[in-house]
A and B are shown apart, each in its own frame.
Chain A
Amino acid sequence: MTATITPPKPPEAAEPSLARRLLTTPTVGPLAALLLACVFFSFNSDQFLTGGNFSLIIQQVMVVGTLAIGQTLIILTAGIDLSNGAIMAFGGILMAKLAAEGTVPPLVAIALGLLVCAGFGAANGLLVTLVPLPPFIVTLGMLNVAFALTHIYSQDQTVTNLPAPLTALGETFSIGDTRVTYGSLLTILLFLLFAYLLGQTAWGKHVYALGNSPEVARLTGIRTGRLTVGVYTTAGFVYGIAALLLVSRTGVGDPQAGQTDNLDSITAVVLGGTSLFGGRGLVIGTLIGALIVGVFRNGLQLMGVASIYQTLITGILVILAVTVDQLSRRRIR
């Protein structure tokens, strides 16, 4: 850094240049990786570079991607959520069962599912804030609670014959020749919404400040407890949306769903360049991270590579992403 305190030169107040902002964004690496992977697969498979295939990839990442939005919020506060897949599974089975059995109208079932998921999130947040307990432990416990409740409530039966509102997000509309599901559109909109909230509102700044240091945040007058509970509750609500997306995608209520989605969502967040230490990262990076996983899975499948290699590559990429984060932090110190 060449800037020093003297001489007193008035700092620039104008918008920074686009190029500069790009270079200082932690999302550049993941984006480059995604584009490279796309180029690679385009050369290796005729079916890869089509609108239909990309629509498919987005469909395939929308559930984990949406879960990863909530995960991003929590990781930005230097927390972690192991319970999101299980919360989603419970929300999904609740919506499906209530609606399929006609206990309540389908839309009420959806609303209840969303509320229950938000409630799980709020419970996580309150335990993290009030007791206080480490997020890892709280959400590990909640993972088991939600998992068990899912199996108890569903009696391990897959729920079929869902009424139309629950599968509406799985319906498609056309952009040119490409059929896109409403769920994919909703997922993209959610990412944009949270990119806006995190980047353009005071709430977003506070989330980052909290992740940097809860003490700094508290001393600057941010009500950190309320903020933390808010973040976990918001995340829970987003898991509820993921539950609806899951139900609409699979067309059933599945008690076995989401068992690895907690780690998959963390994978997407980390691949997107967000720091597990909190306070650094972008939710758009998480979208890119989720797409990287989806593109590799799809591309390798199209090439005829066995799925175990996707797991191998994802593992390597995760380690790489964390290494890059760690190195860039060390350089700043």
Chain B
Amino acid sequence: MTDAPSAPTPPAETAPASPAGTAPTPPAETAPASPAGTASAPPAETARTPVLQARGLVKRYGHVTALDGVDFDLMAGEVLAVIGDNGAGKSSLIKALTGALQPDEGQIMLDGRPVRFRDPLDARRLGIETVYQDLAVAASLDIASNMFLGREARRPGFLGRVFRLLDHRRMREESARHMADLKIGLRSLTQPVESLSGGQRQGVAVARAVAWARHVVVMDEPTAALGVKESGQVLDMIRRVRDRGLPVVLISHNMPHVFEIADRIHVQRLGRRVAQIRPGEHSMAEVVAIMTGALQLDADEQAVVADKEAARAIGLT
């Protein structure tokens, strides 16, 4: 497909990175072989170099410090949950990692190389895709248009180059394939997403992120608005994404979901990372206690009571 790189419109700037623009095969199959990808690196090395890393990020809004020198590490092939109380700086952290806000201080590294994101587009160019809570899809557009929003595929040749004619058919076909890959069943790809259920909409958002991500998928509260059954389906989708080798950052309030799916948990408190935990090594109650400041982890990663009153209040002794 030679049309996309030569085209001057904003969406086309991202087109060279798009699966639609580079090869007719879906990105999931090309991801392991993609040159910038770390998913194909040897396991021994990936264990040491985080895919996405942040050191000492600071973000202040006037007198409010949203991020207070936070660190962050995402390893290859893992689902990392980020939890924290309201106001702990979860969203600010995620926005900084996905380019939606620019930190005042600190550094972000992708595959060990420092990067700067001026806007979400920069992060996307480097293969970081985000599913935003409540802000995932354009309601009146159909599924295929949403899948390709901001990086539409144009017809090859003259029609695409001069008349900028969209290749609706190809976008629909590729969307259908991605939806099928994640086992999302839909009657039609031409219905506007506002006619879909909440779970289906989230499915569209996840499928879009997965289709385009080469490095990292970030999901902000993907189950927050969903019922039990639909939540389970989204968690299944997350597993499938991880099974393809894409690491997932999952922001969630829902402890059972976190414990069900996360390989590791990043606990955010007062603008910092206060603990990194493997779900098997601590109970849910302990994790909640760490999150609220009742417990702290000592150097050996053992939980220590920091606030006896608070700990007693939530039933820990």
Instruction: Return chain B residues, CB-CB under 8 Å to A220.
Output: 120, 138, 149-150
Are A212 and B139 closer than 8 Å at their CB atoms?
A: yes
Q: Once bound together, how far apart are the Cα atoms of A139 and B74, in whole Å? A: 48
Q: Which residues of B sit under 8 angstroms from A216, Cβ to Cβ?
A: 132, 135-138
CB distance from A233 to the nearest CB of B (A): 15
Q: Which residues of A in the span 224-255 have a Cβ within 8 Å of any Cβ on B? A: 226
Residues of B near A211 (CB, < 8 A) are 140
Is there a chain B Cβ closer than 8 Å to A221's Cβ?
A: yes
Cβ of B197 within 8 Å of any chain A Cβ, yes or no, is yes
A332 touches B194 (CB 8 A): yes
> Which one of B130, B143, B154, B192 has the highest number of Cβ atoms from chain A below 10 Å of its Cβ?
B192
Contact in complex: A13, B140 (CB < 8 Å):
no
Bound complex: CA of A205 vs CA of B153, how far in Å?
Answer: 12
Residue B173 at the A interface, CB < 8 A?
Answer: yes
A218 to B150, CA, bound (A): 9
Judge whether B277 is part of the interface by a CB distance below 8 angstroms. Answer: no
Interface membership of A6, Cβ < 8 A: yes
Residues from chain A with a CB closer than 8 A to the CB of B60 are: none
Rounded to whole angstroms, the CA-CA distance of A222 and B119 in the bound complex is: 10
* Residue among B130, B135, B197, B203 with max Cβ neighbours from chain A (10 Å): B135
Annotate B124-141 by CB proximity to A: 1 below 8 A, 0 otherwise.
100000101001111111
Report Cα–Cα, A200/B10, bound state, in Å.
16
Residue from B139, B154, B165 in contact with A279 in the complex, judged by beta carbons closer than 8 Å = B139
Query: How many whole Å from B152's CB to the nearest CB in chain A?
Result: 4
Contact with A along B176-204 (1 / 0, CB 8 A): 10011001111111111011110110010
CB distance from A22 to the nearest CB of B (A): 13
Q: Are B184 and A8 in contact (CB under 8 A)?
A: yes
Residues of chain B from 3 to 46 with CB closer than 8 A to chain A in the complex = 9-11, 14
Whether B165 pairs with A13 at a CB distance below 8 angstroms is no
* A9:B150 contact, CB within 8 angstroms: no
With an 8 A cutoff between CB atoms, is A11 at the interface? Answer: yes
Collect the chain B residues with CB atoms within 8 Å of residue A3's CB: 185-188, 196, 200
Known contacts A7-B185, A216-B138, A220-B149; decide if A202 and B169 are in contact (CB<8 Å).
Answer: no
Does A206 have its Cβ within 8 Å of any Cβ on chain B?
Answer: yes
The answer to the question of B292 belonging to the interface, with a C-beta cut-off of 8 Å to chain A, is no
From B120, B140, B154, B199, contact of A212 by CB (8 A): B140
Q: Which bracket fits the contact residues of A?
A: 35 or more
* Binary contact track B141-174/A, C-beta < 8 Å → 1, others 0: 1010100011110100000000111101100110
A212 in contact with B141 (CB, 8 Å): yes
A residues in contact with B109, CB < 8 Å: none
Query: Is A4 in contact with chain B by the CB < 8 A criterion?
Result: yes
Chain B residues, Cβ within 8 Å of A218:
120
Whether a CB of chain A sits under 8 angstroms from the CB of B274 is no
In whole angstroms, what is the CA distance A125 to B47 when docked?
50
Residues of B within 8 A of A208 (CB): 138, 140-141
B185 touches A4 (CB 8 A): yes
Residues on A with C-beta less than 8 A from B188 are 3, 11-12, 16
Does A209 reach chain B (CB closer than 8 Å)? yes
Please determine whether A205 and B164 come into contact, CB atoms closer than 8 angstroms. no
Residues of B within 8 A of A24 (CB): 191-192
Q: B233 on the interface (CB 8 Å rule)?
A: yes
**B128 → chain A closest CB, angstroms:** 12
By the criterion CB–CB under 8 Å, are B180 and A205 in contact? no
Considering residues A216, A223, A279, which has the most beta carbons from chain B within 10 angstroms of its beta carbon? A216
Instruction: Kindly name the residue among B149, B168, B172 whose own CB sees the greatest number of chain A CB atoms within 10 A.
Output: B149
Q: Let me know if A205 and B145 touch, CB within 8 A.
A: yes
- A174 interface contact, C-beta 8 A: no
Once the chains bind, are B121 and A8 in contact (CB under 8 Å)? no
Q: Are A219 and B196 in contact (CB under 8 A)?
A: no
A-side contacts of B196, CB under 8 Å: 1, 3
- Cβ-defined contact, A5 with B184, below 8 A: yes
Interface centre among A21, A205, A211 (most CB of B within 10 A): A205
CB–CB A222/B149 < 8 A? yes
B95's closest neighbor in chain A, by CB? A219
Instruction: Tell me the nearest residue of chain A to B180, going by C-beta.
Output: A10
Across the interface, name the chain B residue whose C-beta is closest to A275.
B140
A203 CB within 8 Å of chain B: yes
B163: chain A residues at CB < 8 Å are 196
A5 to B152, CA, bound (A): 25
B contact residues around A2 at 8 Å (CB):
187
Determine if B263 is an interface residue (Cβ-Cβ < 8 Å). Answer: no
- Measured in the bound complex, the distance between the Cα atoms of B136 and A209 in whole Å is 11
Instruction: For the complex, give the distance between the alpha carbons of A218 and B120 in Å.
Output: 8
Q: How many angstroms between the C-alpha atoms of A2 and B191 in the bound complex?
A: 13
> Which of B132, B141, B163 has the most chain A CB atoms inside 10 A of its CB?
B141
State the A residues within 8 Å of B (CB).
1-16, 20-21, 24, 196, 200-203, 205-206, 208-209, 211-213, 215-223, 226, 279-280, 332
Known: A1-B195, A3-B200, A221-B14. 15 other contacts (CB 8 A): A3-B187, A3-B188, A4-B200, A5-B200, A5-B230, A6-B183, A10-B185, A201-B164, A202-B166, A206-B11, A220-B120, A221-B120, A222-B10, A226-B10, A332-B194
User: CB within 8 Å of A: which residues of B?
Assistant: 9-11, 14, 100, 119-121, 124, 130, 132, 135-141, 143, 145, 149-152, 154, 163-166, 168-169, 172-173, 175-176, 179-180, 183-192, 194-197, 199-200, 203, 230, 233
User: Can you sample 17 A-B contacts with CB below 8 Å?
Assistant: A2-B187, A4-B185, A4-B197, A6-B233, A10-B176, A20-B190, A209-B149, A212-B140, A213-B138, A216-B137, A216-B138, A219-B120, A219-B132, A220-B150, A221-B119, A221-B121, A332-B195
